[in-house]
C-alpha cells in the first residue's frame, strides 16, 4: 500500500522542520538542561552525544528507512518490508506498538499543551505581574482544579493540530512547520540573548557546561542513554510515518544527523533560556514540570521586560508542544486513513475527536479521578508507564532487531545509499549489537522503577 493519498514532502527543509518539531517536545525542553546539570554538566553532554549518535542515530535511520521502503503507515510499512525480505508480515505488530504509544502519549500530552496555551493567554493578559511563589503555586493548583478551563484549552490545542493535519502533508504540516520551527529557533536565540544581559547567564553556563567527571557513573550513563532515546522521538510511529513521505532523492543519513544535532541544540538553548532566570532569582532548578508553570512565572514577575519575555517564552513552548502533538496524531491518522479507506479529512476528524474524548479522562485525573487508580497509579500515570516504560523501549528494541537481522542487507543498503562501505558497516553493527542491549536495559530498569 502506498502512502495515503500518495503524499510526499516537497523539500528536505520541510521534512527536517517536521521531524525536528516532532522530536523537540515540552519535556525535552525542561528536562535535558536539568539532567545535564545534575549529572556532571559538560561531562554528561559528551556521554549524551555518544549515546545520541550511537543509539539515537542508528534507530532513527532504521525507522525512516522502513517507512520509506514500506510506503505506508507504521503497521503496513513493517509488514511490507518484512514480506519483501522473506519474513512474516506479523512484524506489523511492532508498527502497531508505535501507533499505540503515540495514541496513549497524545491523550495525556494534549492536556499539557492545553496548559501551555492557557499560560500563554495568562502571559499576554497579565505578564504575571505581582506573582510570587505563593500566588504562582495557587494559580497552578487552580488550573488543575478547573476542568472546564483545562478542557477548553486542550480542545483549542487539538483544533490547531486538527486543522494542520486536516489540510494534508504539503498544505498543512509543511506550511505549519516551515513557519513554526524557524520561529521557535528565533525565539530561543532571542530569549537566550536577552538572558545574557539580564543576569544569571554565567551561573547557567557553569551549571550546564562545567565538566564534573566525579558525577559520571553508571547512573549518569543510563540517564544519557534514556535521554538520547526518548528525546529524539523514535518508536512512536511519527518518524516512520514521516519517512513514508520521504522522496528517494533525500538522504536519510544526512537528514538524521541534522535532526539529532538540531534536537540537541534546542535542548541546550532551552537551558540558556530557562536556567539564567532560575539562578538569577534563586529558584529551584530541580522543580521538574513545575519549573515551567510554578517557578518561572515568579521570575517573569521580577525581571525587567518580564511581560514580553513571558509571552515569547510560552509562544516558543506552544510551538514545541503543537509540532510534537501533530507528529503523534499524524502517525495514527495515516493508519486510520489506510486501514479503513477514509479520506484524510474524515480520518483527521475521527482521530482528533478520539484523542479529545479520552483526554477528558486525563484532565479529570488531576482532580476528581485522582484517587481512582490501577495498581497504585492514576490514569495519567498508567498511560505514562505503559507508553514510556513498556511500549517505547520494546518497540525500539524490536525495530532495531528487525532492521539489523530481519531486513535483507540489499534493501537497507539501497535505502542508505549515501553511506560509504565503512559507514554502512558501522550502522549495521550498531543496530545489531549496540542498540538492542541498550534498549533492553532501559526496558528492564523502567519496569523495575
DSSP for 306-350 reads: HHHHHHHHHHHHHHHHHHHHHHHHHHHHHHHHHHH---HHHHHHH
User: What would the mean pLDDT of 211-237 be, rounded to a whole number?
Assistant: 90
Return the pLDDT at 437.
Answer: 96
Nearest to 317 by CA among 18, 21, 38, 17: 21
User: What would the mean pLDDT of 389-415 be, rounded to a whole number?
Assistant: 97
Grid cell 555518544 is found at 50
Query: Which region among 61-65, 280-284, 439-443 has the lowest average model confidence (pLDDT)?
Result: 280-284
Query: What is the C-alpha separation between 132 and 135, in angstroms, rounded?
Result: 5
Q: How many domains does the chain have?
A: 1
User: What would the mean pLDDT of 400-427 be, rounded to a whole number?
Assistant: 97
Return the pLDDT at 2.
Answer: 45
- Please tell me the pTM assigned to this model: 0.95
Query: What is the C-alpha separation between 237 and 44, in angstroms, rounded?
Result: 28
Query: Which region among 128-142, 277-291, 296-310, 372-386 has the lowest average model confidence (pLDDT)?
Result: 277-291
Query: What is the C-alpha separation between 274 and 289, in angstroms, rounded?
Result: 12
**In the chain, pLDDT over 90 holds for what percent of residues?**
81
Query: 115 and 153 in contact (C-beta within 8 Å)?
Result: yes
Instruction: For residue range 123-142, list pLDDT tens digits in order.
Output: 999 999 999 989 999 999 99
Looking at the chain, the number of H-run helices and the number of E-run strands are 22, 0
Nearest to 105 by CA among 370, 333, 368, 327: 327
pLDDT at 4 > cutoff 60: no
Query: 102 and 332 in contact (C-beta within 8 Å)?
Result: yes
> What long-range pairs does 383-386 form, CB within 8 A, spacing at least 24?
383/104, 383/105, 383/107, 383/108, 384/108, 386/104
Q: What is the mean pLDDT of the chain?
A: 94
Query: What is the C-alpha separation between 323 and 181, in angstroms, rounded?
Result: 8
Query: Which region among 98-107, 321-330, 437-446 has the lowest average model confidence (pLDDT)?
Result: 437-446
Return the pLDDT at 5.
Answer: 52
Return the pLDDT at 326.
Answer: 98
pLDDT at 439 > cutoff 60: yes
User: What would the mean pLDDT of 373-401 be, rounded to a whole number?
Assistant: 93
Query: What is the C-alpha separation between 275 and 201, in angstroms, rounded?
Result: 8
- Residue of 87 and 286 predicted with greater confidence: 87
> What long-range pairs does 80-87 form, CB within 8 A, spacing at least 24?
80/1, 81/407, 81/411, 82/402, 82/406, 84/408, 84/411, 85/406, 85/407, 85/408, 85/411, 86/408, 87/402, 87/406
Grid cell 502571559 is found at 123
User: What would the mean pLDDT of 315-324 be, rounded to a whole number?
Assistant: 97
Return the pLDDT at 1.
Answer: 41
pLDDT at 430 > cutoff 50: yes
Query: 78 and 402 in contact (C-beta within 8 Å)?
Result: yes
Residue 181: which residues within 8 A CB-CB, separation 6 or more? 17, 20, 21, 319, 323
Query: What is the C-alpha separation between 370 and 54, in angstroms, rounded?
Result: 40
Query: What is the C-alpha separation between 115 and 238, in angstroms, rounded?
Result: 23
Residue 355: which residues within 8 A CB-CB, separation 6 or more? 103, 106, 107, 110, 158, 329
Instruction: For residue range 328-337, list pLDDT tens digits in order.
Output: 999 999 999 9
Instruction: For residue range 85-114, list pLDDT tens digits in order.
Output: 999 999 999 999 999 999 999 999 999 999
Q: Which domain holds residue 160?
A: 4-448
User: Please, which pLDDT band fits residue 291 given cuts at 50, 70 and 90?
Assistant: confident
User: Please, which pLDDT band fits residue 393 given cuts at 50, 70 and 90?
Assistant: very high
Give the CATH number, domain containing residue 280.
1.10.4160
What end-to-end distance do the CA atoms of the chain give, in Å? Answer: 40
User: Please, which pLDDT band fits residue 405 given cuts at 50, 70 and 90?
Assistant: very high
Return the pLDDT at 289.
Answer: 72
Query: Which region among 78-87, 158-167, 216-225, 303-312 has the lowest average model confidence (pLDDT)?
Result: 216-225
Length of the chain measured in residues: 449
Integer Rg of the chain from CA: 21
Query: 317 and 29 in contact (C-beta within 8 Å)?
Result: yes
Query: Which region among 59-63, 76-80, 147-151, 213-217 has the lowest average model confidence (pLDDT)?
Result: 213-217
Query: Which region among 31-45, 188-202, 275-289, 324-338 has the lowest average model confidence (pLDDT)?
Result: 275-289
User: Please, which pLDDT band fits residue 55 given cuts at 50, 70 and 90?
Assistant: very high
**Dihedral sign of CA atoms 241, 247, 250, 251 in order:** positive
User: What would the mean pLDDT of 319-348 be, rounded to a whole number?
Assistant: 96
User: What would the mean pLDDT of 295-300 be, rounded to a whole number?
Assistant: 92
Amino acid at each position: 500500500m502506498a502512502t495515503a493519498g500518495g503524499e510526499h514532502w516537497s523539500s528536505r527543509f520541510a521534512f527536517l522542520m517536521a521531524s525536528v518539531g516532532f522530536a523537540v517536545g515540552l519535556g525535552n525542553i525542561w528536562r535535558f538542561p536539568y539532567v545535564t546539570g545534575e549529572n556532571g554538566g559538560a561531562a554528561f553532554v559528551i556521554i549524551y552525544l555518544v549515546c545520541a549518535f550511537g543509539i539515537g542515530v542508528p534507530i532513527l535511520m532504521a525507522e525512516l528507512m522502513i517507512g520509506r521502503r514500506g510506503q505506508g503507515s507504521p503497521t503496513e510499512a513493517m509488514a511490507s518490508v518484512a514480506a519483501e525480505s522473506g519474513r512474516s508480515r506479523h512484524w506489523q505488530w511492532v508498527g502497531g506498538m508505535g501507533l499505540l504509544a503515540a495514541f496513549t502519549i497524545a491523550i495525556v500530552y494534549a492536556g499539557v499543551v492545553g496548559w501551555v496555551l492557557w499560560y500563554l493567554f495568562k502571559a499576554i493578559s497579565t505578564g504575571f505581574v505581582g506573582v510570587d511563589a505563593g500566588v504562582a503555586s495557587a494559580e497552578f493548583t487552580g488550573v488543575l482544579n478547573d476542568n472546564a478551563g483545562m478542557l477548553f484549552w486542550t480542545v483549542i490545542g487539538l483544533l490547531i493540530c486538527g486543522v494542520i493535519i486536516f489540510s494534508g502533508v504539503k498544505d498543512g504540516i509543511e506550511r505549519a512547520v516551515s513557519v513554526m520551527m524557524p520561529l521557535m529557533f528565533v525565539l530561543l536565540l532571542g530569549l537566550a540573548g536577552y538572558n545574557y544581559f539580564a543576569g544569571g547567564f554565567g551561573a547557567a553556563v557553569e551549571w550546564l557546561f562545567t565538566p564534573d567527571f566525579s558525577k559520571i557513573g553508571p547512573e549518569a550513563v543510563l540517564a544519557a542513554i534514556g535521554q538520547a532515546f526518548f528525546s529524539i522521538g523514535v518508536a512512536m510511529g511519527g518518524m516512520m510515518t514521516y519517512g513514508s513521505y520521504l522522496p528517494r532523492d533525500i538522504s536519510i543519513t544526512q537528514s538524521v544527523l541534522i535532526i539529532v544535532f538540531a534536537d540537541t541544540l534546542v535542548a541546550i538553548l532551552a537551558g540558556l533560556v530557562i536556567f539564567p532566570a532560575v539562578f538569577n532569582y534563586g529558584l529551584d532548578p530541580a522543580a521538574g514540570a513545575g519549573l515551567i508553570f510554578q517557578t518561572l512565572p515568579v521570575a517573569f514577575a521580577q525581571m525587567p521586560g518580564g511581560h514580553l519575555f513571558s509571552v515569547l517564552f510560552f509562544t516558543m513552548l506552544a510551538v514545541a508542544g503543537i509540532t510534537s502533538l501533530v507528529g503523534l496524531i499524524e502517525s495514527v491518522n495515516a493508519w486510520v486513513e489506510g486501514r479503513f479507506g477514509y479520506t484524510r479529512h474524515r480520518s483527521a476528524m475521527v482521530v482528533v475527536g478520539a484523542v479529545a474524548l479520552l483526554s477528558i479522562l486525563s484532565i479529570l485525573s488531576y482532580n476528581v479521578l485522582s484517587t481512582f487508580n490501577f495498581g497504585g497509579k492514576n490514569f495519567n500515570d498508567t498511560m505514562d508507564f505503559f507508553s514510556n516504560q513498556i511500549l517505547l523501549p520494546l518497540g525500539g528494541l524490536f525495530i532495531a532487531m528487525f532492521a539489523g537481522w530481519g531486513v535483507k542487507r540489499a534493501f537497507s543498503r539501497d535505502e542508505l545509499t549515501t553511506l560509504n562501505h565503512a559507514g554502512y558497516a558501522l550502522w549495521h553493527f550498531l543496530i545489531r549489537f549496540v542498540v538492542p542491549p541498550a534498549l533492553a536495559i532501559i526496558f528492564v530498569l523502567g519496569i523495575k522503577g
